[in-house]
């Protein structure tokens, strides 16, 4: 009989601990960031084989342009065709050209795209650039240039950074 009482008491405790709670329990791990990310890589295709025309005077330390038509592109940039390089023409029907340039330098300065992201929610693009140069002075100066194409995405703001510092923002309506 004692065995039945003990079993009944154990059963009563089990029912009380499991069956009496009808509250809905929301199990969320608050240590994880569950918000959806809205940023992704910006589809950038670098262009090579172009130079800044000598009729263009670049005076800022790093100057940025968004070019959306062939006429404006041709007024700013010339083709540096050699026997060994391939020149890719931008398709202004589906792309815009992003350009970064600096004043002429005697130190073989290069402009490099360090990162490019697109915020899907706002359609804002962030492009981060870095510059490098040789320590030795060369025999001629060149105007550093970086060119690339990005897809047209309607109204879009481009935030251009020189390293970690915001250099300028340009809003386009494509």
Mean pLDDT of 8-12: 43
pTM: 0.74
What SS3 state is found at 150?
strand
Mean pLDDT of 68-91: 92
Where is mean pLDDT largest: 4-18, 37-51, 116-130? 116-130
Q: Looking at the predicted structure, is the pLDDT value of residue 168 above 90?
A: yes
Mean pLDDT of 64-68: 94
Q: Determine what percent of the chain is predicted with pLDDT higher than 70.
A: 78
Give the dihedral sign, CA 67/65/169/91.
positive
């Amino acid at each position: 009989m004692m065995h039945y009482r003990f079993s009944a008491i154990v059963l009563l405790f089990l029912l009380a601990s499991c069956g009496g709670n009808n509250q809905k329990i929301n199990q969320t791990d608050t240590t994880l960031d569950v918000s959806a990310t809205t940023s992704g890589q910006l589809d950038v295709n670098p262009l090579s084989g172009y130079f800044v025309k000598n009729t263009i005077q670049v005076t800022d330390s790093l100057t940025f342009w968004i070019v959306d038509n062939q006429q404006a592109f041709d007024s700013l940039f010339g083709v540096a065709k050699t026997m060994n390089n391939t020149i890719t023409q931008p398709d202004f029907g589906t792309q815009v050209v992003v350009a970064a340039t600096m004043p002429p330098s005697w130190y073989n300065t290069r402009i490099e795209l360090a990162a490019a992201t697109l915020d899907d929610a706002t359609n804002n693009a962030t492009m981060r650039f870095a510059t490098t140069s040789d320590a030795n002075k060369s025999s001629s100066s060149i105007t550093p240039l970086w060119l690339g194409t990005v897809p047209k995405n309607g109204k879009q703001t481009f935030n251009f950074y020189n390293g970690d510092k915001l250099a300028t923002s340009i809003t386009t309506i494509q």
